[in-house]
Amino acid sequence: MLPRDFPPWQTVYWYFTLWRTDGTLDRLHDALREQTRAKRSGRQKKDPAPSAGVVDSQSLRGADTVGSDSRGYDAGKKVNGRKRHIVTDTIGLLLVVVVTAASVQDRDGGRAILKQLHASLPGVRHIWADGAYAGRLVAIAKSAWRITVEVVRKPAGQRGFSVLPRRWVVERTLAWMMRWRRLVRDYERLPETHEAMVKWAMVGLMLNRIAPPPGPKPWSSKRK
């Protein structure tokens, strides 16, 4: 289903796999994130290296191509498939992503992704999270990786949806991902492939911010 001006799919997939495994994709993604953070102007301008982030997860239904050895059932969301755990910076750009079976609890997935975050970006020392990450993970993150996990809880007596401080940033990023058809469900045989697809989606988003395409934007056009 590639456009006609692309090489044969075997060639495209070969480069996709090579760049995923040799670190090219990670270097490209991280370089674009630094440029996107530095490009922000005025009071919103950010240091290229983040020091804080927000963590959350999202369960996705798995297609038939998702093997039984890497899928599970999320009883809370009633989803059979996989779960992607992400950490973003404070403006919603991806820092790290880990894909697990949907049956993995957020506190367990949080431990895996914070460990990877410390290995990739040791300068990140503060993370905001929801109540699912409370408990032992807070102490483990502080002692093992010197990361402070601050749990942002819902106000007492809250009913229905409400935008919560800090947490809305990562929830918005998860919504951005759902605009990419390949990420609406999990179609990949390997969790690593889904992680790569998430990074490619963010590469596209950041490129549009750094060098916006010409022409009117659908959300800014006015009817005559």
What is the torsion angle, in degrees rounded to the nearest 10, for the CA atoms of residue 208, residue 214, residue 219 and residue 220?
Answer: 130
Does residue 158 form part of some domain? no
Does residue 5 form part of some domain? no
* DSSP code per residue over 107-136: HHHHHHHHHHHHHH-TT--EEEE-GGG-SH
How far apart CA 197 and CA 186 sit, in angstroms, is: 10
> For residue 79, what is the domain's CATH number?
3.30.420.10
Does residue 189 form part of some domain? yes
Does residue 186 form part of some domain? yes
Does residue 217 form part of some domain? no
Does residue 6 form part of some domain? no
Does residue 71 form part of some domain? yes
| pTM for this prediction | 0.89
Helix 191-210 and helix 9-21, axial crossing angle in degrees, nearest 10: 90
Range of the domain at 100: 49-153+163-210
Q: What is the pLDDT along the chain (224 residues), one digit of tens a residue?
A: 788 899 999 999 999 999 999 999 999 999 999 999 988 755 566 788 899 999 999 999 999 999 999 999 999 999 999 999 999 999 999 999 999 999 999 999 999 999 999 999 999 999 999 989 999 999 999 999 999 999 988 766 666 656 677 889 999 999 999 999 999 999 999 999 999 999 999 999 999 999 888 877 665 655 54
Number of structural domains in the chain? 1
How far apart CA 182 and CA 16 sit, in angstroms, is: 15
Tokens of 141: 């993150």
Does residue 32 form part of some domain? no
